[in-house]
Amino acid sequence: MAYGDPTNENSVAAAFQHASSLGFQLFFSFDYAGNGPWPKSEVESLINSYSGSGAYFHYQSRPFVSTFEGPDQAEDWIDIEAATGCFCIPDWSSLGAKPAMTKAGGVADATSCKDGGTVGNTVSQLQLEFRPWNVASEAIYFTALLVSSATIEVTR
pLDDT tens digits along 105-134: 888 887 765 554 445 544 444 444 444 544
The whole-number pLDDT of residue 42 equals 97
This prediction's pTM: 0.74
Look at residue 115 in the predicted model and tell me its pLDDT: 53
pLDDT in tens, 35-89: 999 999 999 999 999 999 999 999 999 999 999 999 999 999 999 999 999 999 8
Closest by CA to 35, choosing from 74, 7, 13, is: 7
**Whether residue 32 has pLDDT greater than 50:** yes
Q: Where does 51-138 have alpha helices with state H? A: 76-84, 97-102
Query: Of all residues in the chain, what percent carry a pLDDT higher than 70?
Result: 71
pLDDT band, very low/low/confident/very high, at 93 (cuts 50, 70, 90): confident
Determine the Cα–Cα distance for residues 66 and 108; give it in Å rounded to an integer: 10
Q: Identify the bridge partners of residue 91 per DSSP, sorted by sequence position.
A: 68
Of residues 135 and 71, the one with the higher pLDDT is 71
Least confident of 12-26, 55-69, 141-155: 141-155
Residues in CB range of 38: below 8 A, 6 or more apart? 3, 30, 32, 70, 73
For residue 12, pLDDT over 50 is answered with yes
